[in-house]
Every structure is written in C-alpha cells, then in structure tokens.
Amino acid sequence: MLPTPKKFTICAGSAEGPTRLNAFDNALLAAGIGNLNLLRVSSVLPPGVEHVEKLDIPPGSLTPTAYGTITSSTPGERIAAAVGVGFTEDSFGMIMEYSGVCGKEEAEREVTRMVEEAFRQRGLPLARVMVKGTDIVVKHIATAFAAVALWY
C-alpha cells in the first residue's frame, strides 16, 4: 500500500502554446506544477491533510493529482477549469474537477455544486469548500488547468 498524502495544494493556470501538448505544459507551468510527474487520481481528500499554499516538491516527483483540464484551438473561445475541495469537520473530504467552454466564475459555481452533491450522496456534513479556477480566451491553442496536488 502506498503512503497516504499529508499535504495538499490547490493550483490553477492557463496558457497558450504552439501545439496542444505545449499549451498543456505551459498551463502546468503557470499553475506551478509543471516540473512534476502527475499521477491522476480520483477525488478523495485524505483525513487530516494540511493545506499548503505552494508546492515544495523536488522536480520529477511522482505526485498524486486530481485535475480538470481543457484545451481548445478555436480562436475567441473562452475555456475554463476549476477544482473544489469539500471538508467535513472530522473525516475525509472530496475533490471535484470541472472544465468546459465557459468563464472562470461559471466553472467555479459548477464545481461547487459538484462538491455539494458528492457530500449529499455520501451523507456527510459539508463544513466548508475551497475553490480555485482559471480561464483564458483562445488566440491559437490554449489550455485551462486546475488541480489539487496531494503530497507528503
């Protein structure tokens, strides 16, 4: 069994690039997570984790990450990504991710609704929610990316 992460960081970034992969990589850099190896995970926040504002992980580290992302090559289109983290007072939490053709505010509202629904389905009391999103208007090729990195 792998160790349970003890910390989490919420990050978001948007960027353009000459290719879809470069746009994604540039968005990761803008989010502050571009020099890590992301391991995509589902959306459970371990009990007792500490929120840390900025990642402090060596480059190349394998990093469990729940994220939403969208890339577009339609000039003038606004794209957004957001993550929401819901907390109970004394148990585990939930992470939800959203991305779409919309603005940051709409993405943040949608991910908040998703967190609320996840808690309703589990019968857990929702004590508080943290949300972070980003958006960008596409010029050539752009990516919006939002994530919750879980680390040790």
- Would you mind telling me the total number of residues written for the chain in this entry? 152
- Separation of alpha carbons 66 and 63, rounded Å: 10
pLDDT of residue 49: 95
Which pTM value belongs to this model? 0.96
- Residue 77 included in any domain: yes
- Quick one: which of 117, 24, 119 has its CA closest to 70? 24
Residue tagged active-site, from 14, 26, 72, 97: 97
E-strand stretches of the chain: 7-16, 37-40, 44-45, 50-51, 62-72, 78-87, 93-100, 128-137, 142-151
The owner of tokens 């389905």 is 121
43 is a catalytic site residue: yes
- Residue 17 included in any domain: yes
Q: How many distinct structural domains can be found in the chain?
A: 1
35 is a catalytic site residue: no
pLDDT tens, position by position, 56-69: 999 999 999 999 99
SS3 112: helix
Structural tokens at position 32: 């502050």
- Residue 12 included in any domain: yes
Residue tagged active-site, from 37, 73, 91, 117: 37
For residue 75, the enclosing domain spans 7-151
42 is a catalytic site residue: yes
91 is a catalytic site residue: no
- Residue 31 included in any domain: yes
Residue tagged active-site, from 14, 43, 72, 99: 43
- Residue 1 included in any domain: no
Torsion sign over Cα 142, 148, 150, 151: positive
CATH of the domain at 145: 3.50.20.10
pLDDT tens, position by position, 36-86: 999 999 999 999 999 999 999 999 999 999 999 999 999 999 999 999 999
- Residue 88 included in any domain: yes
One-letter amino acid at 76 equals G
* Beta-bridge partners for 68: 146
- Residue 53 included in any domain: yes
- Residue 19 included in any domain: yes
Please say if the pLDDT value at position 2 is more than 90.
no
Please say if the pLDDT value at position 144 is more than 90.
yes
